[in-house]
Structure 1
Amino acid sequence: MKRLILIGMVFCLILAGCSSGASPSPSPSPSPTPSPEVTEPSPTVDPDNPNGYTGINPLTGMPIEDSKVADRPVAVMLNNLKAALPQHGQSQADIIYEIPAEGGITRMLALFQDPSVVGDIGSVRSTRPYYLDVVTGHDAILIHAGGSEQAYSDIKTEGIDALDAVRGNKAADLFWRDQERIKTAGYEHSVFTSGERIARLLPTYDIRLRHEDDYEYRMKFSKDAVPENGTAADKLTIVFSSYKTGVFTYDSASGLYLASEYGAPYVDGNSDEQVAVKNVFVLRADIALIPGDTAGRLTVDLVGSGTGYFACGGKSVEIKWSKASDNDPFVYTLKNGGELVLGKGTSYVNIVPGNAKVTIE
Structure 2
Amino acid sequence: MLTKKLAPLCLALLLGLSACGKPTAQVSPAPEHSLPARTPEPIPTPTPEPEYTGPVNPLTGLPIAGEYVNRRPVAIMLNNLKQALPQVGVSDADIIYECLAEGGITRMLGVYQDPSQAGAIGSIRSSRPYYLELALGHDAVYIHAGGSPDAYEKIRAWNVTALDGVNGPYCGSSPGSNLMWRDADRRRNMGYEHSVITTGETIVERFAGYSFRQEHQEGYTYEMNFLPDGTPSGGVTANTITVPFSNVKTGVFTYDPEQELYLVEEYGKPYVDGNTGEQVGVTNVLILKTRCSAIRGDDKGRITVDLTSGGTGYYACGGQLIDILWSKGGRNEQLRYTDLNGNPISLGAGHSYVNIVPLDSDVEIQG
TM-score category of the 2 structures, normalised to the smaller one: 0.7 to 0.9
Summarize deviations over 1:147-192 as a string: whole Å, max 9, x none: 0011011111111101110011156510111111112111000000
Are 1:93 and 2:90 matched, yes or no?
no
- CA separation in 2, counterparts of 1:206 and 1:168? 16
Aligned to 2:242: 237
Aligned to 2:334: 329
Say if 2:121 and 2:200, in contact at 8 Å, map to a contact too: yes
Moved more, 179-188 or 124-133: 179-188
RMSD over aligned Cα atoms: 1.6
Aligned to 1:354: 359
Give the 3-state SS of the residue equivalent to 1:130 in structure 2: helix
Shift of 1:334: 0.4
Return closer, same or farther for 1:88/1:334 CA change in 2, 3 Å cut-off. same
Match of 2:220 among 208, 215, 221: 215
- Which residues in structure 2 correspond to 1:182-201 (within 5 Å)? 182-201=187-206
Say if 2:74 and 2:112, in contact at 8 Å, map to a contact too: yes
- Which residues in structure 2 correspond to 1:270-289 (within 5 Å)? 270-289=275-294
- CA separation in 2, counterparts of 1:214 and 1:259? 36
- CA separation in 2, counterparts of 1:114 and 1:357? 35
Aligned to 2:84: 84
- CA separation in 1, counterparts of 2:171 and 2:332? 24
Shift of 1:304: 2.2
- CA separation in 2, counterparts of 1:146 and 1:224? 40
In the superposition, the TM-score normalised over structure 1's length comes to: 0.85
Say if 2:171 and 2:182, in contact at 8 Å, map to a contact too: no
- CA separation in 1, counterparts of 2:363 and 2:335? 21
Say if 1:174 and 1:198, in contact at 8 Å, map to a contact too: yes
Amino acid at match of 2:264: A
- Which residues in structure 2 correspond to 1:301-312 (within 5 Å)? 301-312=306-317
Give the 3-state SS of the residue equivalent to 2:333 in structure 1: coil
Give the 3-state SS of the residue equivalent to 1:102 in structure 2: coil
Match of 1:298 among 296, 303, 320: 303
In the comparison of the two structures, how many residue pairs are matched? 316
In the superposition, the TM-score normalised over structure 2's length comes to: 0.84
Say if 2:253 and 2:264, in contact at 8 Å, map to a contact too: yes
- CA separation in 2, counterparts of 1:53 and 1:71? 19
- Structure 2 residue runs of 5 or longer lacking an equivalent are 1-46, 173-177
Are 1:65 and 2:70 matched, yes or no?
no
Return closer, same or farther for 1:189/1:171 CA change in 2, 3 Å cut-off. closer
- CA separation in 2, counterparts of 1:337 and 1:155? 33
Summarize deviations over 1:296-315 as a string: whole Å, max 9, x none: 00010101211000000000
Q: Which runs of 4+ in 1 moved over 2 A?
A: 43-46
- Which residues in structure 2 correspond to 1:115-194 (within 5 Å)? 115-169=115-169, 172=172, 173-194=178-199
Summarize deviations over 1:128-147 as a string: whole Å, max 9, x none: 00000000000000111000
Say if 1:136 and 1:160, in contact at 8 Å, map to a contact too: yes
Aligned to 1:36: none
Return closer, same or farther for 1:281/1:293 CA change in 2, 3 Å cut-off. same
- CA separation in 2, counterparts of 1:352 and 1:246? 11
- CA separation in 1, counterparts of 2:167 and 2:214? 22
Amino acid at match of 1:93: A
- Structure 1 residue runs of 5 or longer lacking an equivalent are 1-42
Say if 2:170 and 2:180, in contact at 8 Å, map to a contact too: no
